[in-house]
Structure 1
Amino acid sequence: MGDNNSWAGVVPTQRQIHFRVIIVEVFIALFLCINFLQITTFVKKEVFRTTMRYILFANTLLSDSLFLIATNIVFIFSFFRVTMEISQCIIVYVVSSLYTFVTNITLTAMTLERFVAICMPLRHGELCTTRNSLHCILIIHSISSIPLTVFLSIFFASATHTVYTQHLMCAAEVFILHSWQGHLRSAINQFYSLIMCVIIVFCYVKIMKVAKVASGENQTSTQKGLQTVALHAFQLMLCLISLWCPFIEAAVLQIDFLLYINVRYFNYIVFVLAPRCLSPLIYGLRDDKFFLAVKSNVCFGLQTKNCFCV
């Protein structure tokens, strides 16, 4: 972390800061409202609460909402140069780090669910039960917590007591006390990224083979499943790129501080916020059954013909 005084004289103007903050806050508020609407829709309908694809979707919505709130706190504090104690920053870091991986792994699990539904339809009902869905969510959180546990354990073992009372800008970098910790974090991120990419590519290729031989209604269903997997792949790609952003930003920081501020803001919008806001669009709008339920929820259960949203 650089000295806070280094911000003086090189940060964007106050008007630019306010404009950027307003854009982000409107963006986050909009999608938090959409997520809340879709979560309530999921809770109200039993058919969604007992179907694996919707259970995983709801898990993604909840994960993304918590992630947006945590990263928004860091964003506001960073732009207005507000510091906090390391002990307080740990709480924000735990939420943002954990749900970074939860979202990515859940997207991978949703891709596997589409693979089973299309390539193994006879076993889909057996494998994708409500019980297995809950077990899957537990496994997702357990796997997601491994990098966080390793990273914080090393930090707790290395940090002195005075470190916890320091006031710094809250960021993941404050927990890196030795250069090898950064290399270890990078290695773990790359390992997770590789595994998820392999699974996504495997599922896409298998579904594509089925799509070539499918016909009639199966062809339509398979093509839609293929598009869903492709959208998941795109969303996951943006999420994985965000894992590389700190290294890009660190390199830019060595060149020009103002450029670093602009690059960091761009990365936050494109690679942090945007992929978390795709989930409600991919499933909430493209899934006919869920979309109709959302419309009914918005219209307070009124008849479709009397509803303003038709």
Structure 2
Amino acid sequence: SPPPLGTMNETDPLESASSALIQIPLCALAALYSALMVAFLGYAFARKPRLREQWRYVLFSVLSLSQGVYFVARLVQVCLSFFQKAATCLDCAALFMIQRTATMAEMTALTAMSVDRYLAICWPLRYGAIFTSLKIWHLMAGFCFCSAITPSSIFIVRVCFLAKRGLLWRTIPCSKNAFNQLGVSGTVSVSLESVQFGLYVLIIFASYFLVLKEGVSSRSVSLENARARRTILLHMVHLGFYLLPVPTYLIASSLHRNKVISTAAFSNTINVSFYSFTLAQIICPVIYSLRSDQLRPIL
């Protein structure tokens, strides 16, 4: 049988009280900032009648919107931990699904923007044919599917596992550590997410090198080609900040288990990686806007 509620001690540094005191206002401000960015991009969207420009603003908006949803969901989780409030396993699984969907939507938006630049440079005629009102809806449907398929699959697997053991309505601290103690393995979720993340990374890198190849083969690199490569390169930097907490956590936890670093050093390392991730999420939309000829005057 699963351990009683009181024995589920939090071991994640991001769940500690000292970290929560910083995360709560940070996540709240980041969510508010994301909402303002979505409103700004919505205003820019209304000013641009051309579908191809509207599609780019949709991707920009999804980027900021997904960040806002993630920070709100993270804020709820941190508040539950800080105020020592329990939630049902179903509620926690749904909260984690929302976080995963938001992060996957951001990754999908980054990938779509990179592919958009590749098509605009390497296939300009086909690129123009894509943007009809009907095909835009097809693109949006495909975008939603790619963003939701992995998180919803993980959610269904977890709900079936918890329901089979009669734990669906059990109240627990809403943390990954509590799920692990209930026997909910994270191996399946990590594997599914890794496959999709890896695919997105390959697509972004392939887009960059195909655009580079097009410029080299034409023997005269156009301004549009150079600009597209800089844009995709910025997506790569964003991707690096986005994935930074994962290797940081794996390396730091391994060193901590082998007693190479102290618990305090382990906690500080994990906290710093999360804060740098949050800062990157805030800065990147502004950089995108400042680089856009259409958005810069509005901003």
Amino acid aligned to 1:153:
I
Distance in 2 between residues matched to 1:115 and 1:81, nearest whole Å: 49
Which residue of structure 2 aligns with residue 132 of structure 1? 135
Secondary structure of 1:51's counterpart equals helix
TM-score where L is the length of structure 1: 0.76
Contact 2:70/2:98, CA 8 A, preserved across alignment: yes
Q: Are residues 1:111 and 2:114 paired? A: yes
Aligned to 1:288, which of 288, 293, 296?
A: 293
Report the CA distance between 1:91 and its aligned residue.
Answer: 3.0
Q: Are residues 1:277 and 2:282 paired? A: yes
Aligned to 1:235, which of 235, 238, 246?
A: 238
Q: Quick check: 26-35 or 250-259, which moved more?
A: 250-259
Distance in 1 between residues matched to 2:248 and 2:66, nearest whole Å: 21
Q: Deviations over 1:43-95 (max 9, x none)?
A: 45434686332222222222222222112222333344443222322332221
Report the CA distance between 1:118 and its aligned residue.
Answer: 0.8
| 1:65-214 equivalence runs, <5 A | 65-160=68-163, 162-176=166-180, 177-178=182-183, 181-212=185-216, 213=218
Q: Residues 173 and 85 (structure 1 numbering): CA distance in 2 closer, same or farther, change over 3 Å?
A: same
Amino acid aligned to 1:280:
P
Report the CA distance between 1:230 and its aligned residue.
Answer: 0.4
Which residue of structure 2 aligns with residue 63 of structure 1? 66
Amino acid aligned to 1:86:
C
Alpha-carbon RMSD across the aligned residues, in angstroms, is 3.3
Task: Note the residue ranges of structure 1 that are not aligned, 5 or more in a row.
Answer: 296-310
Which residue of structure 2 aligns with residue 267 of structure 1? 273
Amino acid aligned to 1:277:
I
Identity %: 20
Q: Residues 183 and 104 (structure 1 numbering): CA distance in 2 closer, same or farther, change over 3 Å?
A: same
Contact 1:85/1:168, CA 8 A, preserved across alignment: yes
Distance in 1 between residues matched to 2:159 and 2:24, nearest whole Å: 33
Contact 1:67/1:95, CA 8 A, preserved across alignment: yes
Distance in 2 between residues matched to 1:81 and 1:265, nearest whole Å: 20
Secondary structure of 2:289's counterpart equals coil
Distance in 2 between residues matched to 1:51 and 1:214, nearest whole Å: 32
TM-score where L is the length of structure 2: 0.79
Distance in 1 between residues matched to 2:219 and 2:60, nearest whole Å: 26
Q: Deviations over 1:191-228 (max 9, x none)?
A: 1122112111111111112334465xx72222111111
Distance in 1 between residues matched to 2:215 and 2:140, nearest whole Å: 29
Contact 2:31/2:68, CA 8 A, preserved across alignment: no
Distance in 1 between residues matched to 2:10 and 2:119, nearest whole Å: 54
Q: Residues 21 and 159 (structure 1 numbering): CA distance in 2 closer, same or farther, change over 3 Å?
A: closer
Which residue of structure 2 aligns with residue 225 of structure 1? 228
Aligned pairs, number: 286
Report the CA distance between 1:132 and its aligned residue.
Answer: 2.6
Distance in 2 between residues matched to 1:65 and 1:42, nearest whole Å: 19
Report the CA distance between 1:115 and its aligned residue.
Answer: 0.1
Which residue of structure 2 aligns with residue 305 of structure 1? none
Distance in 1 between residues matched to 2:269 and 2:113, nearest whole Å: 32
Secondary structure of 1:163's counterpart equals coil
Contact 1:214/1:222, CA 8 A, preserved across alignment: no
